[in-house]
Structure 1
């Protein structure tokens, strides 16, 4: 009897891994689309003669469209076949990647990355939704270890691959975008062969496109304002009043729409509950700190320290190793104990410490110290990112799983979008003032003429030295801001109720029924 149960358990585990294989490939291609560019981006923007603001928006554009479309994908997953939706997201991603690879200037690249982000948003949201639909929360922790491993391979291998591509003359930076195409095609085929899901379709289909559009528009207006304020126009100006006021009005309208539509893109009835609300707040803070801080590490090593893209990829490995180890180990420990809050609190606290360490770097800090700080950041990310999603998934019924999972991913991506934009604007302003001071030119004028400061090879040697120093010293400030934002995540994690993961796919029936006994409770 025992051997029969063991054989059945192994067979089920094998079937689950087969179903996961295509999903993990899809997640990998979504993640590598950003990591493969991270170390190559300074050279890409330099070769296109782009600015620091455009550097930021190449990242922000993808995050913004991924953020705006994530909840739509999540809602569609509650209405249509999840496997088909994942495959549609893969096709969109491939088309966006091809367009990005053929871009002729920074503006075209930003537009292509925005389109690519629609596919990335689908892959990020739908992989989580499908996994939640086929694996019970209590068992999901150990499978999150596989997710963590894929994330680690993408985050470790992506920067190295991107560095190698741009350092090999016969390839060139365009292959940073083309390289994901064959991987995406393989993921499409593997999904078709291995993933078997029942089609779920409701009669009253309604997707809140208006709410998603208003949220995206409101956030976009505010982020554009952040990118140009104190540079193109002042804090107290009609442009500031128009953009801030317009952005807030659009977001207020979005909230109004969300309270009235049948199928809100952000389900307020779910996100106002204590556990989802606090998990979302923590995800927002972690996303701001993690995306915002990590995006500029490749730039720090290349522009601030003078390393090649390949060397920069190697130097970011401590952070990726931290993500791999922490996500795998914490996932298995959570599955064993069923308790999740202690790991989230610990991870959020470690994240703060890591960013405080990075906040002390300058243009000649020991690489050993930088590596230790990055590893600590990676450990914090590995213990929080997936587990915050799991905490929310554990509190909702199967019918709300898509919307709930996508809501957490939405706010984490929103935090990342805001973080990259805000920290990029801070870095651009500090670099501009530092360059003006070092080269003794008036503030607000181009300190390197018509040549981008990121195009180091086209600058005179003495100017290159100044650029290294200014970028290396300015980067520490954005990591200190990341640490301050991450503190919010710690507070939210501490306020979470103790959570015991359930062992069933759906909530128990008694949990779904309202309590009628006046003595209960």
Structure 2
């Protein structure tokens, strides 16, 4: 396919991804206000975010498996419809529980969009060329991440936060039509379809129970309590049952033999930790800007531009570098290092830190994530057999979402504890009348409207959230170091030059096909040499060349081509 044909085929795909990112991020800048209006606390705030990530996480491998069995074009259109309907319904929420339910629906659609877009891109673009287009996807993602919070802030300040949930509807309709018109994929080979329903139930149940425990422990019950032990034991039992099931069924959701591939295993480890950096920072930076710095939703969107700008520039630029040079290892190691540095710098912020320092730190972190995130999927697809391309791609996305979900849950729970302890300690320094007002305003745990608080209480809340967010980023630094180590040990495999459709005819992975291609080229060169030798009356390559024998009156000499 020519560059133009590829862009036409990807146009609906890119627009669908843009809708997904926009609908997800447009509410991020107004989320503190939404939770406050719906009378929610820090736990509700965390769960509104976690619900989407959790649904995305548990549904991603299922979408990936379905992609290996059914029409990928139809599946991505269904995923887009589910996502946008969930977003629209969320706009009518009257309490945090209803909002969480519809955010789960959003997450189910998002799981399909995230996995299927990567799988379809592998169908029509070779690994060597994919870096360029992955950079394009990363750029679109970054534009959505930058524009979403900013647009959401403007809409919230002008019309109210509910309109944020309706913005994606017209764009989604256009994306569905565009997908129908421009995306033309060959029909997959029909075979007996066996969906691993039991494995899906065990995986979803085990991961969900584990995340529910992380979110509720410390607030609803003690970490070391009978309830905690029961939930952890239940989650462990479900996940063990999932592993046993995946070993035995014919069509597992996540084929465990994939972990024999060193590239896949290390990419999964890196994906888990990079997920925390990607999802966690965007969630807690929003709280930092509004609750620790007193920013409006619009200002919050503007203040997070450095991070998304870094992600946009790094993803687009280095994606092109990978396509031009075929070199990816040094880029990913550098990106992982930048992620460590960015998180370390953000761990030092407080409620009165200079904005230029916060901006530089966010830009460094965003650049690091942009250099790593897309390329992790690329290197896995490059070494995976075509028959497992869907599940391998979705598995990397699954573990990245799992890392983000667990990260947001655990860090959110810790943050709630840190903020509560800080406020409790700081109240004693207030005047008696302010102590009564603080107990009345903050005692319920509901996230307050900071700009409506008396000055003394406002400073206390801002200071508490500022120091807590810094502590959260410090806890994320070791995870970023794990990403760096995993990326450093990734095998530096050469990127293939064949897309998945061509590879399906070869029946192997990109690396295998590339080796076969080189062997074919060598054989062709040998054939040409032998043909030239035969034409010149010389022995073929590898044959004996006797010296001094006569053909007619001419002595034959040992002159090998």
Bin of the TM-score, shorter chain as denominator length: over 0.9
- CA distance in 1 between counterparts of 2:441 and 2:202 reads 38
Q: Which residue of 2 aligns with 1:125?
A: 115
Say if 2:134 and 2:319, in contact at 8 Å, map to a contact too.
Answer: yes
Q: 1:497 aligns with which of 491, 498, 506?
A: 491
Aligned residue for 1:383? 371
1:478 aligns with 2:472: yes
Given candidates 63, 69, 79, the residue that maps to 1:89 is 79
* Deviation per residue, 1:263-296 (Å, 9 max, x gap): 1111211133100000111011100222122211
Structure 1 pair 509/214, CA: closer, same or farther in 2 (3 Å)? closer
- Corresponding residue for residue 404 of structure 1: 392
Deviations 1:327-356 (A, max 9, x none): 111111111121222111111111010000
Q: Which residue of 1 is the match for residue 528 of structure 2?
A: none
Does residue 220 in structure 1 map to residue 208 in structure 2?
A: yes
With over 3 angstroms needed to count, the CA separation of the structure-2 counterparts of 1:498 and 1:512, relative to structure 1, is closer
Distance 2:59 2:447 in 1: 34
Note the residue ranges of structure 1 that are not aligned, 5 or more in a row: 1-8, 516-521
1:174-194 Cα shifts (integer Å, max 9, x gaps) = 111111111111110111111
Contact 1:340 1:499 in 2 (8 A): no
Task: Indicate which of 322, 327, 336 corresponds to 1:334.
Answer: 322
Residue 156 of structure 1 is matched in structure 2 by 146
Q: Residue 468 of structure 1 corresponds to which residue in structure 2?
A: 462
Determine if contact 1:66/1:121 at 8 Å carries over to the other structure. Answer: yes
Q: What secondary structure sits across from 2:18 in the alignment? A: helix
Task: State whether residues 340 and 500 of structure 1, in contact with CA within 8 Å, keep that contact through their aligned partners in structure 2.
Answer: no
CA distance in structure 2 between the partners assigned to 1:229 and 1:207 by the alignment:
34
Match of 1:6 in 2: none
Distance, in Å, in 2 between the alignment partners of 1:451 and 1:243 is: 25
Of the three residues 161, 166, 177, the one matched with 1:173 is 161
TM-score, scaled to structure 2: 0.86
2:64 to 69, 74, 88: 74
| Alpha-carbon contact 1:45-1:454 (below 8 Å) kept | no
Deviations 1:346-377 (A, max 9, x none): 11111010000000000000000000000001
Q: Which stretch shifts more, 361-370 or 257-266?
A: 257-266
* Residue of structure 1 equivalent to 2:280: 292
Partners of 1:513 and 1:431 lie apart in 2 by: 55
SS at match of 1:296: helix
> Hey, what's the Cα distance between the residues in 2 that align with 1:389 and 1:131?
11
Q: Say whether the 8 Å CA contact 1:355–1:479 is kept in structure 2.
A: yes
In 2, distance between residues paired with 1:372 and 1:209?
A: 47
Asked if the contact 1:398/1:505 (under 8 Å) is kept, the reply is no
* Structure-2 residue corresponding to 1:32: 22
For this pair of structures, how many residues does the alignment match? 501
Are the equivalent residues in 2 in contact too, given 1:453–1:467 (CA < 8 A)?
no
Residues 229/122 of structure 1: CA separation in 2 closer, same or farther (3 Å cut): same
Alpha-carbon spacing, 1:237–1:451, altered in 2? closer, same or farther (3 Å): closer
Pick the aligned partner of 2:298 from 310, 323, 347. 310
8 Å Cα contact 1:293-1:482 kept in structure 2: no
- SS of 1:14's equivalent in the other structure is helix
Equivalent position of 2:548 in the other structure: none
Asked if the contact 2:128/2:326 (under 8 Å) is kept, the reply is yes
Q: Contact 1:71/1:403 (CA < 8 Å) preserved in 2? A: yes
Whether the 8 Å contact between 2:294 and 2:450 is mirrored in structure 1 is: no
Per the normalisation by structure 1, the TM-score is 0.93
- Alpha-carbon displacement from aligned partner over 1:37-83 (angstroms, at most 9, x marks no partner): 11110011011110001101111000000111111111111111111
Aligned pairs for 1:91-240 (under 5 A) are: 91-168=81-158, 171-240=159-228
